[in-house]
Amino acid sequence: MGKTTFAGNLGLLHLGILLILVNLAVIYFFDIEVSRAIRLGSCITLIGYLLVKSGFKKNLLVLGLSFLLVRDIAVLFYEIPVFKTASLLCTVLVYTGICLFTFKRLPMVRFSRTIIIFGLVIIVLNIFNVFYLSDIIIASLDNDAQLILFFTQSAVMLFMALFAFLYNESFEGTQSLHLLLCVLAFIFSDLGGLAAYFFGYEPAFYAERTFYLIAASYLVHYTINFQPEADVISELSDSGLKV
């Protein structure tokens, strides 16, 4: 049986911490081109770790990691419109893969007060994203395709958060929690990127990169250690109201 805690997988834990420290140092001492190259190298390193530990697995999460790698390649040339479009498309595909994987793991959906509140927060955030940020985002994009992809990314990200929350609410143990933490880290990384790229708040680059590497590390960890039988319906979820 594989390891079931992130801390227990010390090799990946140490690797993740090392990659975060290297990336933060590079952001501080070098220009953005070098930083992007190190980001790509970090993604390759984590995927390499996955292949060494468990080989190539045919599932949506591995596909998502593949698109994550392609996105980091496209980000190297982010100022060129076609590569910016490709990076946005790959982000949508990464989040869609996680969404579909998580949705397939969900039992029959149940309502609870917590789930309803979380769903309302998701809706409010999406409305804020569309109406408040539109003018700022449009000025930073090159064409309508990028605008569509940006708001598609936002919508898919919110569904990803909702499904991950439902997944963690539905099952006992830490396996579902690890995927939820992965999703939350991706969201905080996106928020950091939004503040850094679109609002010009340079310190946010540190948050963006840190949460990105946390998310990618958790995704690798979850993929390596995933065991379907570890998802046991929680008693709290089982007593909920069925949809």
Query: Nearest 5°: phi and psi at 222?
Result: -65, -40
The mean predicted confidence, pLDDT, of the chain is 84
User: Cα–Cα distance between 176 and 72 in angstroms, integer?
Assistant: 27
SS3 state at 227 = coil
> What is the number of other CB atoms lying within 10 angstroms of the CB of residue 162?
20
Which residue stretches of the chain are H helix?
10-29, 32-54, 60-75, 81-105, 113-132, 134-140, 144-170, 175-193, 204-225, 235-238
The domain limits of the chain are 10-235
Q: What is the pLDDT of residues 186-216, one digit of tens each?
A: 999 998 988 888 778 889 999 999 999 999 9
Of the chain, the percentage scoring pLDDT greater than 70 comes to: 82
- What confidence score (pLDDT) does residue 6 get? 44
> What is the number of other CB atoms lying within 10 angstroms of the CB of residue 157?
26
Of the chain, the percentage scoring pLDDT greater than 90 comes to: 49
- pTM (2 d.p.): 0.86
User: Cα–Cα distance between 131 and 35 in angstroms, integer?
Assistant: 32
Mean pLDDT of all residues in 180-186? 95
Mean pLDDT of all residues in 75-84? 94
Q: What is the pLDDT of residues 165-179, one digit of tens each?
A: 889 888 888 899 999
pLDDT band at 143 (very low <50, low <70, confident <90, very high): confident
